[in-house]
Every structure is written in C-alpha cells, then in structure tokens.
Amino acid sequence: MDSASGILAGGIGNDRFGTGPLRVVGRAMAPVARPPVLMRRPRPDHLPLAPAQERMWHAARIGRSAEWNVSRAVRIRGGSADLDALLAAIGDVVARHEPLRTCYPVTEHGPAQVVVPFADVEVDVRVCTVGEHDLAARLAEFAQREFDLANDLPLRARVYVLGADDVVLLLVGHHISIDGRSLAPLLRDLGAAYTARARGLPPVLAPLPIDYADYTLWKHAQLGDFADESSRATQQLRYWANTLAGRRALLEFPVDRPRQVVSSSEGAIIPVCFPVPVHAALLDRAQHGRASLFMVLQAAFALCVGWFGRSADVTVATAVS
C-alpha cells in the first residue's frame, strides 16, 4: 500500500484540501521561503543598528553608559615587553575589526552605524607607569569611564608598566560593539599581531569572510520592516506584547532593607562552583531540550525567584540568551 492509498484507507481521502488533516499536509508541502544568504553586501547610505545593538543603544541612553562596558586585563610577564609592538598590534586589530572603529550617532533615519576609515582613527591608548599598590584602583577607574557612543570609538586601552618585565594591558569596550564571545578572537588576533610586530613584520591574518555590517543587513532582511504587518519583526513583536500582557510588574520578596526608589546597577558576585558531574548533567539537559546552558540556568534562577516571591508566574528579562 503506497502513502496515497494509506490516506484513502484511513477515511480522509474525501476531505477538502485546506481543511482537516489535509490542511496539515498542505502546510508541510507549501514552499518555504529560504532565508537570505549571509554574505558581503553593498553598504547603504544609512546603516542601521542590528537589533541587539539597538537594545544596547537604548539601554545606554536610559542609564549610565558605563554599565555596559566590557573589560579584559592581560598581564605580560617574563621578558621585556615590546611596547611599540603592542601599540601597533592594537592598531592592527582596530583596522581589522570594523565594530572597534564604529560610532553610533543619531540621524534623521534613527541611530546608525558609522564605520570610521582606519586612516582617520585615533585609538585612545596610552602607556602609564604605576605601582602594584595602585594597579587595582587604576584598572577599576578606567574600566568605568563612560563612552559617548555618538562620537567615541567603542574601544580604549591602557598599558600599565609595573616594571621592565611586568606589564598589564587593559582593554575596555562598549557592549554595543563587543561581547563575551568576541573577546577570544579579539585577543587571538591581538596576540598574532603582537608576535609579528615584535619581529618587525606586519601581521598576516586570514581575511574576514564578512563584517558585522553585513550581518546587520542580513538580519534586517530576515526580520523585515516593523511598518509591514506581515513581517517577522512585527509578528515577533506582537507575540511578545501579547505574551507579556498582564504580567505582574513587581514581585515582593522578604527583604532585609527597603527597595531603592531609584534603581542602580550596584550588585555583588557570589561565585558558585558546579562539580563536573553536575555541569555535565546541565549540559545534557540543555542539549536534550535544544536549549543553551544559559537558558537552563535562567530557568533554575526563575524557580528560585518564584519560591522567594511566592509566585508560580515569574518573568525574567535579558538582553541576549
């Protein structure tokens, strides 16, 4: 018995196409529009922000921009550091990665990405001599300086010299251009460039297949325009507006002090170390549910919040999952 005979034998062969079980078959057989290919694209006069960047842009304008700073300190010991090579290598990575030399001004069409040509770039990088007792305070102070997203490049650097063979490099970027996952390739390229420059050679790095601007245009092509009622962007916005409608604005907790009238970004870190078997089990749970480890941990966090707040309905917001 072939598949068509099976359908007829099941008693649904006379069902009109578009209703009942055949409607499901019809949907499955309907052509699905292929998503646009992620590739290099011509740059428009107005380059919009990617959706994730737009969230960061609005958040930075509402609060302190420094709350979205991303910093990483690297200590170089055991050998004389070549400061000239290090400064040249920083320039190399800024030239290579467009987001590190992009400003975000407001235009008549809204916030935009403006990629500054490297020839016009002045990277905010300086060499300072400090003592060990002042290092922590200097690192903290520099890491908390705000960025003017409309005019400043989203990357700064300081090289703190503690001795002939002891140097600390501090990189500070704004989250609109740098995230945790981009730090690894950034440091990898910086290391390769420094090694080459220390030998008196220009770095030789594989060309990037695309730039972030290409991803931005690809993402907007996927989502479509909010002015279009049938676009994915409008559908997703409508979904979340309906899903979050009527949610409690605030959960009440048994607190040890009154809630602040004006919110701040002050907080604390409580390190938690998961044993290897627990970590493996969490990863397995995430993979089984086709989720990220972050999503699993956030679900556990929501359960704890619900227990303290005596509510089974908990809403937790995050910029990126």
DSSP designation for 209: S
Q: Rg of the Cα trace of the chain?
A: 26
Q: Give the percent of the chain with pLDDT over 70.
A: 89
Q: Tell me the whole-structure pTM to 2 decimals.
A: 0.77
Give the whole-angstrom CA distance, residue 283 versus residue 296.
9
Of the listed ranges 4-8, 172-176, 207-211, 241-245, the least confidently predicted one is 4-8
Q: Which one, of 101, 139, 106, lies nearest residue 120 by Cα?
A: 101
Residue 14 confidence class, pLDDT cut points 50, 70, 90: very low
Give the whole-angstrom CA distance, residue 232 versus residue 114.
26
Q: pLDDT digits over 45-92, tens only? A: 999 999 999 988 998 888 777 889 999 999 988 777 899 999 999 999
Strands (E), the chain: 69-77, 102-103, 106-107, 110-111, 114-115, 124-129, 155-163, 166-174
| Structural domains in the chain, sorted by start | 1-32 (no CATH), 51-215 (3.30.559.10), 246-254+269-321 (no CATH)
Matching residue, tokens 């503690």: 162
> Parallel, antiparallel, or unpaired for β 110-111 and 106-107?
antiparallel
Q: pLDDT digits over 259-312, tens only? A: 888 777 777 888 989 999 999 999 999 999 999 999 999 999 999 999 998 888
Q: Which one, of 177, 102, 90, lies nearest residue 127 by Cα?
A: 90
Q: pLDDT digits over 215-262, tens only? A: 999 999 999 988 889 999 999 999 989 988 888 778 888 888 888 887
